[in-house]
Chain A
């Protein structure tokens, strides 16, 4: 049984053009699946759909064999306890310092012990290299630092699967490496991840599988080496050659 199984998922914004068309995908425990493809191909929409920010029109999402009902608040709440997402624009709470951004959900929503959560959050922030920024507010942090707080915030919920939505694309080039290092640490820890990324070197380095999307559909999937060195579809060949510059 797959950890996460997506079957023929279809979604659209405001009932207009479909942004996801019959998307099927499986993620096993411990796998790192990377979604690649041109802008507007549905990668981010797929992640938003999985966490219920974009309610699917049809299709099924199963988490450890249990079907997610996106029209049912309880079901979505249960899903969000197991799936955490890190956004492209960090989306930190501006009125909270780094530590509180990380602790607010476990303490206020999961009702966990505040002291225990604070210790864990401090450890997480240290892990992503922000041990000296615990009490800094988002507007006092660089983009890379904010993104690492966002990653720590997602991890504080102890998710089964971490969704990363182009977490480096809003960053200045010199800040990208610090976020990539944080992702490498997670990969080494065996975290199950579904990530959208344009960092092809990282995708190749850590992905167990790569999924190519175009116009809302999955058009090809395979190991990173296979997709990059030997793409089968014409669209994938074209995309890979453009992005790798050969």
Chain B
């Protein structure tokens, strides 16, 4: 192998790549917030809802988004919807696609969390005279957050990685920008190695911040990475 590493050609693009990483973080954060919101409604319907039709609709939604590739879902939003007169920008299509996709997975996670609330704690709250609202605020929510914090953190990290597919739609997030630099410098090995390092830094920083929040706010015992 006579390949000579030439880091000098790509190091100058580090700031540009970090800008891409920032966009990746933004997309992941917004998609996650949207996904958690939809999943909370879905999981509530599945756990406590009495309307059969509504439950079936939510189940179908979850099955659809969990059993089709996220890339196909975004292709559909970006290329198929315009046929019906709905035009989304690449940023909107990617954000919406990731949101809908992650909401399917998060629905299952949240549902498991709701089901893990111990009946015994609810009974104790009842006999102490707590109202449903007090019970939800003081007993159920803290428990659900504590139980779900580690899987939700993992899901968030996974989502950050998945944002790389946004580059297919021309978005200049980290992978997209790495591709641009590679095309300009022809130093693919160096560029994609640097972007990989940036992804590692990105996820390690995110994991550490989330771990600290979890540990101090919710007494989560999960280990860091």
Q: Of A53, A94, A153, which is within 8 A of B121 by CB? A: A94
Expressed in whole angstroms, the Cα–Cα distance for A77 and B139 within the complex equals: 18
Let me know if B127 and A53 touch, CB within 8 A. yes
Contact with B along A123-161 (1 / 0, CB 8 A): 000000000000001000000000000000100010000
Smallest Cβ distance from B221 to chain A, in angstroms?
A: 9
Smallest Cβ distance from A23 to chain B, in angstroms?
A: 20
Q: How many residues of A contact B (CB 8 A)?
A: 23
Query: Is residue B44 within 8 Å, beta carbon to beta carbon, of the partner chain?
Result: no
> Residues of B contacting A157 with CB < 8 Å?
128-129
Let me know if B120 and A105 touch, CB within 8 A. no
Expressed in whole angstroms, the Cα–Cα distance for A81 and B130 within the complex equals: 11
Nearest A residue to B141 via CB reads A95
> Residues of A contacting B130 with CB < 8 Å?
105, 108-109
Given A94-B143, A95-B219, A137-B219, A84:B127 Cβ within 8 A? yes
Expressed in whole angstroms, the Cα–Cα distance for A105 and B138 within the complex equals: 10
Expressed in whole angstroms, the Cα–Cα distance for A109 and B125 within the complex equals: 10
Contact with A along B40-59 (1 / 0, CB 8 A): 00000000000000000000
Let me know if B219 and A87 touch, CB within 8 A. no
Expressed in whole angstroms, the Cα–Cα distance for A91 and B125 within the complex equals: 9
Nearest 10 CB-CB pairs, A to B?
A91-B124, A95-B142, A105-B128, A91-B120, A80-B129, A51-B127, A109-B129, A85-B127, A89-B120, A93-B139
Q: Which residues of B contact A (CB under 8 A)?
A: 118, 120-121, 123-130, 134, 138-139, 142-143, 146, 218-219
A-B contact list, 17 entries, CB within 8 Å? A53-B123, A53-B127, A80-B126, A81-B129, A84-B127, A84-B128, A87-B120, A87-B124, A91-B123, A92-B124, A105-B129, A105-B130, A109-B130, A109-B134, A137-B219, A153-B128, A157-B128
